[in-house]
Amino acid sequence: MEFFRREELATNLAKKVLEVSPTSASSSGLFLAAPRRTGKSTFLREDLRPALEKEGALVLYVDLWEDRSADPGETIVHMVRAELAKHEGVITRLARSAGMEKVAVGGLSFSQDRIGLGDGISLSTALAELSDEVKRPIALVIDEAQQAIVSEKGNDALFALKAARDELNSSRHFGLRVVATGSNRDKLAMLRAGRDQAFMGAPLINFPTLGMDYVQWFCHRLNLGAPLDPARVYELFKRASFRPELLGAAADAVRFEFGLPPDQVSTRFAEAIDEQIAESEREQLRVVHNLTPPQSTVLRVMAVRGEKFAPFEAATIESYNAVLQATSPNVDAKIDVSGAQQALAALQEKALIWRAARGVYALEETGLATLMASAGMLDDVPR
């Protein structure tokens, strides 16, 4: 499959990540935020990973959204174990450090289950051995890293990686860099904003969206019976919030519209973009409209409060009941702390909201609040 390459950006970013300088904070970790479905994960796999390898790093990549049912802490541990399994010398030394003099590599003498979080051999020790084996820096790329803090094991894994980073960035080893990405800047900031967070103070930057060069590449490869003007398509791309999949879906809609005259291709493509945007918004709102009154009420208040959302404070409970009375006057019910907890659990199960292990809540999709506001669903929420 052919991908749009962002080699210059990847090379520039790789050099900055691996830079060894007393004036650089990249050794603390680098956090990149970009909205979902804007090409971030493709860039990590197809551009940044090869660029880091070209600069001499051993790259370990993990996507915490690949298996949403798995605990993110275990996912990180399994990724490290998978890389260690490729290096017999590392396994041998780890086995001996566990008190085993005779080691049958590849057999049952040493189980990698001993490596991990509180399992005998720490991630820090394992990564230090790996660093000494490969004699080059290790770059750990974690996609959708905000998922790490939805579980205690995920939090533990982040602190284990911090310990590994501190050890591997000492003069005795070859360095460890952590590149964490996420689709929600506010969630990602939780991993490095507080003193109780493993990567406090690490830089957090907005990942650049795809630009005109991507649109030109896209238009050049289309075969719709007539060329598209990249300048016009770029304006449509901005309207689609820089999501490549919407351009592709619109192109497919035009491609399979048999008998379309060439002079109507450009107009029809613009219409198809609007249709894709409307369909995406309609699907999101359909889920919201199917919520129970208490669930809908809690979601509305959360959408308005944003970072200041405190789900169980007295003032918030009052807001819930004011909204419930305004939007569902025929519902003979009130929301208390228990009812709010039940609503939040249901919203989380429906993947509308996200909850950190320490009890902080946020909308799963950052654009949902804007969409609800445009539909008039937030008008009754007290400001």
Q: What is the pLDDT along the chain (383 residues), one digit of tens a residue?
A: 789 999 999 999 999 999 876 655 556 789 999 988 999 999 999 999 999 999 999 999 999 998 988 999 999 999 998 998 888 878 777 777 766 544 454 443 455 666 776 667 888 888 998 999 999 999 999 999 999 999 999 999 998 999 999 999 988 899 999 999 998 888 888 888 766 677 888 889 999 999 999 999 999 999 999 999 999 999 999 999 999 999 999 999 999 999 999 999 999 999 999 999 999 999 999 999 999 999 999 999 999 999 899 999 999 999 999 999 999 998 888 999 999 999 999 999 999 999 988 889 999 988 899 999 999 999 999 98
Cα distance between residue 174 and residue 176, in whole Å: 7
Does an H or E element contain 85, and which?
Answer: none
List all residues 6 or more positions away from 311 whose beta carbon is below 8 Å from its beta carbon: 298, 302, 340, 344, 361
List all residues 6 or more positions away from 29 whose beta carbon is below 8 Å from its beta carbon: 165, 177, 178, 179, 180, 192, 199, 202
Query: Is the Cβ–Cβ distance between 309 and 361 less than 8 Å?
Result: yes
Cα distance between residue 260 and residue 262, in whole Å: 6
Q: Is the domain defined by 7-206 classed in CATH 3.40.50.300? A: yes
Query: Is the Cβ–Cβ distance between 273 and 236 less than 8 Å?
Result: yes
Q: Which amino acid is at 112?
A: Q
Cα distance between residue 207 and residue 272, in whole Å: 27
What CATH architecture applies to the domain 291-374? Orthogonal Bundle (1.10)
Token pair 């506001």 in the structure block, residue: 373
Q: Which two tokens stand for residue 53?
A: 């390898």
Q: How many CB atoms lie within 10 A of CB 104?
A: 11
What are the boundaries of each domain within the chain?
7-206, 217-287, 291-374
Fold agreement (7-206, 291-374):
no
Cα distance between residue 29 and residue 201, in whole Å: 9
